[in-house]
């Protein structure tokens, strides 16, 4: 770690400690936990943009897929729903698989004029057939005790497994999406991924049989003990007595510390692995590919396949972060995903931190999340000062005090623009400096 | 025969008229995107929020005019506020150009960097709009509501389906036509428009023949901002004004620009209508329509809706992917700007 990085991370630690000292330790730990998750997400985007130069603005979709995995792994299965519509769901899945197989076969065996017509016809038939089975099955499932269930449920396993599953889900989705979209030019890829992430969210929000949609799934199980159980446990009471603290607030701090330990482990593991990848021949090849895809192709590198690798790897990391986030929240809320928060904010983290540098992304994740949270009270104070000379019930003053929460969006844009203007390489620039601006055809 | 007429009226009412209005709004947005793309060579992700900013100015000036007692009933006051909105948005755009983009233009930053910069602008405009007017729905339509009322139409024709055309839909279409006509006149006839086309076509050659690049870029931003303000205000008048929906318009607007062939103004207009009619046509429930056409015994049971309304994003996206895979240059390649 360079002295510069050490200094900046130390400054970040001081900021968090100051929050603990002056606001409260609960707030500081809450921010810290989300900083860790944000850092993991930023690392995922860094693999795509920093390593491979892929402009993916669909981060939100992969985070949501990770969240879905957390929910599906941890929630117990709903037996009644499976008997009501499980068979229909499996059947419609089989119809879709058969359609896909038939389309692939038709495209392989038929000659061009017939091929297009057959593809369209097969897709249409498959779509209508699947819908015919799917509709009633979905309705049946959604009618099973709709107030409490109305969905198939999940596997009922410990939620911590979902971090891996979330990564795998996101990787699978990314493979499929990358196959379609990665051939596109930078700007088309951006629009395409933006669209895909909106579609993923629309599916999660509307397919109630799978996700309960906007009715949310709450009360997911936890990888750490619950506060109420801790307050009963004798070893915990002993511990708090020995430390001389009140067990009730301490239990909440303790739980947050447990989360922080788990998240920090994941973050550390990912950073170490990504650093090794960066310094490996694979990393060198990715940089060559990013800086000059044509030259890399001329050297015999399979550009599209390598870009797909980076896309899948980055998305998988984002998926892990998404699963961790849902774990921390204890609930899956498809309605809460918003591209400003889950896509573009992550991009601000990567750019400010320094694209291509893993430690930079971690720092960016910490700093931007910290500012995102703290901008709200700071905005309010700022508005108070600005409007302190105006009478208290003046309409504009009331309005601006209410609006101060939105100032943080403004602040994030400002930071991004300033960063790109004055230190385009980020706070921690990539070690191998880019002498020439990135080549984009 | 009545069945056929009723079915036609029904389809006009729920697909044709809304499709024309929505398509005109998308086309105006896509024209702005396409111009910026062609002249400045980057995809401007902040265009949706520029539309929101323009619409916000439209709403605020409408309120100010209403408070001052100005009215052009039966037309909505917003029409009178439109020039103010355009002026404000153009000034904002010029400010952003000078403060933000100019630096990257002079340094010849990569298009991808420009796109990230436009994400920053998007955040700032979004925050600004929410601070000034708040994140909630705002209604600012006034004046008469309908050009043709469903009930009057039924009485006039004796059909059981009534055609209704809202004032906002009529105005959207008329204003969009006027704006497009003015734009094409500017591009094809005026000196500044020709300079813009020359600059877009070959930057070095244009510089060599004495075209001032700053001037061309300023003109581009003014036009893009004017189109954004018009599109935003019309959309708000037709539906309702809510900052977040404008961000979501970004996807169909870009789909329209790309489908028509990005950089091509005619393509942007065609693309706008392709996207709007696909969105509305595929999410419309055809049950009643078919009931009019087929004998009662064949009447469909379900809604006969191809895709649920919640998936309308998926439609713009699907069109985008299909076009990009089959014909990457868009529907109308060749002549650009």
Q: What is the pLDDT of residues B143-178, one digit of tens each?
A: 888 888 888 888 888 787 888 888 999 999 999 999
Higher pLDDT, A440 or A207: A207
Q: What pLDDT does residue A440 have?
A: 46
Last residue of a domain, one of A152, A186, A207: A152
Last residue of a domain, one of A152, A185, A214: A152
Q: Do A172 and A296 share a domain, yes or no?
A: yes
Please indicate, yes or no, if residue A433 is contained in any of the structural domains.
no
Phi, psi dihedral angles at B132 (to 5 degrees): -75, -45
Do the chains contact at B104 and A420, CB–CB below 8 Å?
Answer: yes
Q: Do A181 and A267 share a domain, yes or no?
A: yes
Quote the domain boundaries for residue A90: 78-152
Least confident of A41-50, A158-167, B309-318: B309-318
Q: Spell out which residues of chain A touch residue B104, defining contact as CB-CB under 8 Å.
A: 420-421
Please indicate, yes or no, if residue B148 is contained in any of the structural domains.
yes
Closest residue in A to B262 (Cα) is A188
Q: Do A133 and A160 share a domain, yes or no?
A: no
The residue-averaged pLDDT of A360-375 equals: 94
- Picking from B127, B132, B313, the nearest residue to A413 by CB comes out as B127
Radius of gyration of chain A (CA): 25
Residue A264 in tokens: 């920090």
Nearest chain B Cα distance for residue A417, angstroms? 6
Q: Do A351 and A402 share a domain, yes or no?
A: yes
CA distances to A230, A281, A336, A433, B152 from B148, rounded to whole Å, are 69, 70, 40, 65, 7
Q: Do A13 and A93 share a domain, yes or no?
A: no
Q: Spell out which residues of chain A touch residue B310, defining contact as CB-CB under 8 Å.
A: 202, 205-206
Q: Best mutation site among B120, B136, B260, B262 for testing chain A: the one with the most A CBs within 10 Å? A: B120
Quote the domain boundaries for residue B149: 18-248
Closest residue in A to B311 (Cα) is A202
The residue-averaged pLDDT of B31-54 equals: 94
Q: Spell out which residues of chain B touch residue A437, defining contact as CB-CB under 8 Å.
A: 108-110, 113
Mean of the per-residue pLDDT values of chain B: 88
Share of chain B above pLDDT 70, in %: 98
Q: What pLDDT does residue A435 have?
A: 47
Please indicate, yes or no, if residue B164 is contained in any of the structural domains.
yes
Q: How far apart are CA A227 and CA A253, in angstroms?
A: 9
Do the chains contact at B130 and A403, CB–CB below 8 Å?
Answer: yes
Q: What pLDDT does residue B178 have?
A: 95
Q: Minimal CA–CA distance to A416: which of B222, B38, B45, B37?
A: B45
Residue A158 in tokens: 């410990």
Q: Do A98 and A198 share a domain, yes or no?
A: no
Q: Spell out which residues of chain B touch residue A364, defining contact as CB-CB under 8 Å.
A: none
Q: Is B56 on the interface with A (CB under 8 A)?
A: no
Q: Is the peptide bond before B74 cis (omega within 30 degrees of 0)?
A: yes
Question: Across the A/B interface, how many CB contacts are shorter than 8 Å?
Answer: 144
Q: Do A290 and A238 share a domain, yes or no?
A: yes
Q: Best mutation site among A413, A414, A419 for testing chain B: the one with the most B CBs within 10 Å? A: A413
CATH number at residue A238: 1.10.3470
Closest residue in B to A183 (Cα) is B325
Alpha helix (H) ranges present in A208-292? 208-211, 227-232, 234-243, 247-279, 281-291
Do the chains contact at A192 and B324, CB–CB below 8 Å?
Answer: yes
Q: Is B174 on the interface with A (CB under 8 A)?
A: no
Q: Is B106 on the interface with A (CB under 8 A)?
A: no
Q: Do A140 and A195 share a domain, yes or no?
A: no
Please indicate, yes or no, if residue B156 is contained in any of the structural domains.
yes
**pLDDT grade for B1, boundaries at 50, 70 and 90:** low
CB contact at 8 A, A410 and B127 = yes
Q: Is B125 on the interface with A (CB under 8 A)?
A: yes
Nearest chain A Cα distance for residue B59, angstroms? 17
Do the chains contact at A192 and B311, CB–CB below 8 Å?
Answer: no
Return the residue matching tokens 């949310």.
A216
Burial A59-79 (b: 16+ CB within 10 A, else e): bbbbbbbbbbbbbbbbbeebe
CB contact at 8 A, A144 and A84 = yes
Please indicate, yes or no, if residue B11 is contained in any of the structural domains.
no
pLDDT above 50 for B17: yes
Higher pLDDT, A4 or A135: A4
Nearest chain A Cα distance for residue B74, angstroms? 31
**pLDDT grade for A142, boundaries at 50, 70 and 90:** confident
Q: What pLDDT does residue A145 have?
A: 78
Q: Is B209 on the interface with A (CB under 8 A)?
A: no
Nearest chain B Cα distance for residue A410, angstroms? 4
Q: How far apart are CA A403 and CA A382, in angstroms?
A: 12
Q: How many domains does chain A have?
A: 2
Residue A279 in tokens: 């310094």
Q: Is B16 on the interface with A (CB under 8 A)?
A: no
Look at chain A and count its residues: 441
**pLDDT grade for B333, boundaries at 50, 70 and 90:** low
Do the chains contact at A408 and B313, CB–CB below 8 Å?
Answer: no
- Picking from B109, B119, B135, the nearest residue to A437 by CB comes out as B109
Counting runs of H as helices and runs of E as strands, what totals does chain A give?
20, 2
Q: What pLDDT does residue A439 have?
A: 47
Q: Do A14 and A144 share a domain, yes or no?
A: no
Q: Do A364 and A316 share a domain, yes or no?
A: yes
Q: What pLDDT does residue A393 have?
A: 67
CB-CB neighbours of B189 under 10 Å: 9
Q: Best mutation site among B324, B326, B327, B329 for testing chain A: the one with the most A CBs within 10 Å? A: B324
Please indicate, yes or no, if residue B228 is contained in any of the structural domains.
yes
Nearest chain B Cα distance for residue A200, angstroms? 9
Do the chains contact at A406 and B122, CB–CB below 8 Å?
Answer: no
Q: How many domains does chain B have?
A: 1
Please indicate, yes or no, if residue A438 is contained in any of the structural domains.
no
Closest residue in B to A347 (Cα) is B116
Q: Do A194 and A254 share a domain, yes or no?
A: yes
């Amino acid at each position: 770690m360079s002295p510069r990085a050490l200094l900046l991370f130390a400054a970040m630690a001081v900021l968090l400690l100051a929050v603990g000292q002056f606001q409260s330790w609960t707030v500081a730990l809450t921010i810290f936990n989300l900083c860790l998750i944000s850092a993991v997400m930023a690392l995922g985007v860094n693999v795509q943009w920093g390593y491979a130069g892929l402009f993916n603005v669909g981060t939100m979709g992969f985070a949501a897929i990770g969240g879905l995995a957390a929910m599906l792994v941890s929630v117990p299965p709903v037996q009644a729903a499976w008997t009501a519509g499980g068979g229909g769901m499996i059947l419609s899945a089989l119809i879709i698989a058969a359609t896909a197989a038939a389309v692939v076969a038709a495209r392989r065996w038929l000659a061009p004029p017939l091929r297009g017509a057959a593809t369209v016809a097969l897709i249409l038939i498959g779509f209508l057939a699947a819908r015919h089975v799917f509709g009633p099955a979905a309705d049946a499932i959604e009618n099973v005790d709709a107030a409490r269930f109305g969905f198939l449920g999940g596997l009922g396993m410990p939620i911590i497994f979902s971090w891996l599953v979330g990564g795998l889900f996101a990787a699978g989705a990314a493979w499929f999406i990358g196959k379609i979209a990665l051939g596109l030019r930078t700007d088309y890829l951006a629009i395409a991924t933006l669209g895909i992430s909106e579609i993923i969210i629309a599916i999660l929000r509307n397919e109630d049989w799978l996700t309960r949609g906007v009715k949310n799934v709450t009360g997911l199980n936890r990888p750490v003990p619950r506060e109420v159980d801790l307050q009963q446990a004798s070893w915990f009471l002993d511990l708090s007595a020995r430390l001389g603290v009140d067990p009730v607030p301490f239990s909440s701090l303790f739980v947050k510390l447990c989360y922080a330990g788990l998240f920090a482990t994941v973050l550390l593991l990912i950073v170490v692995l990504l650093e090794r990848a960066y310094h490996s021949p694979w990393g060198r090849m990715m940089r060559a590919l990013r800086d000059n895809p044509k030259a890399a192709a001329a050297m015999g590198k399979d550009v599209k396949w390598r870009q797909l690798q980076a896309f899948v790897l980055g998305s998988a990391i984002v998926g892990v972060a998404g699963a961790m986030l849902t774990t921390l929240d204890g609930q899956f809320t498809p309605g809460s995903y918003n591209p400003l928060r889950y896509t573009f904010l992550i991009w601000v983290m990567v750019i400010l931190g320094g694209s291509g540098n893993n430690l930079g992304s971690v720092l960016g994740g910490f700093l931007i999340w910290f500012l995102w949270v703290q901008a709200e009270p700071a905005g309010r104070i700022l508005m108070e000062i600005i409007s302190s000379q105006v009478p208290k019930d003046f309409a504009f003053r009331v309005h601006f005090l209410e609006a101060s929460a939105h100032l943080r969006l403004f602040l994030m844009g400002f930071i991004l623009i300033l960063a790109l203007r004055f230190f385009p390489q980020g706070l921690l620039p990539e070690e191998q400096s880019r002498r020439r601006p990135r080549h984009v055809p | 025969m009545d069945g056929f007429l009723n079915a036609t009226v029904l389809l006009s009412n729920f697909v044709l008229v809304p499709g024309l209005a929505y398509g005109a709004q998308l086309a105006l947005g896509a024209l702005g995107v396409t111009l910026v793309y062609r002249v400045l060579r980057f995809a401007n992700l902040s265009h949706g929020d520029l539309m929101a900013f323009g619409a916000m100015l439209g709403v605020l000036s409408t309120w100010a005019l209403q408070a001052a007692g100005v009215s052009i009933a039966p037309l909505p006051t917003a029409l009178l506020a439109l020039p103010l909105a355009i002026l404000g948005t153009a000034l904002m755009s010029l400010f952003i150009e000078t403060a933000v983009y100019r630096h990257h233009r002079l340094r010849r930053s990569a298009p991808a960097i420009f796109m990230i910069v436009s994400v920053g602008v998007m955040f700032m405009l979004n925050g600004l709009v929410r601070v000034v007017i708040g994140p909630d729905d705002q209604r600012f339509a006034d004046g008469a509501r309908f050009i043709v009322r469903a009930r009057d139409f039924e009485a006039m024709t004796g059909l059981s389906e009534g055609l209704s055309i809202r004032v906002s839909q009529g105005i959207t279409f008329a204003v969009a036509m006027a704006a497009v006509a003015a734009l094409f006149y500017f591009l094809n006839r005026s000196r500044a428009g020709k300079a813009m086309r020359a600059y877009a076509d070959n930057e070095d050659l244009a510089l060599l023949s004495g075209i001032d690049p700053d001037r061309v870029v300023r003109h581009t931003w003014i036009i893009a901002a004017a189109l954004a303000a018009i599109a935003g205000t019309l959309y708000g008048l037709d539906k309702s004004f809510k900052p977040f929906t404008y961000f979501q318009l970004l996807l169909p607007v870009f789909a329209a620009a790309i489908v028509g062939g990005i950089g091509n103004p005619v393509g942007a207009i065609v693309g706008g209508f392709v996207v709007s009619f696909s969105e509305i046509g595929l999410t419309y429930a055809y049950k009643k329509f078919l009931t009019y056409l087929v004998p009662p015994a064949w009447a469909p049971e379900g809604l006969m809706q191809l895709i649920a309304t919640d998936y309308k994003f998926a439609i713009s996206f699907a069109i985008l992917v299909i076009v990009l895979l089959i014909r990457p240059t868009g529907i109308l390649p060749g002549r650009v700007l």
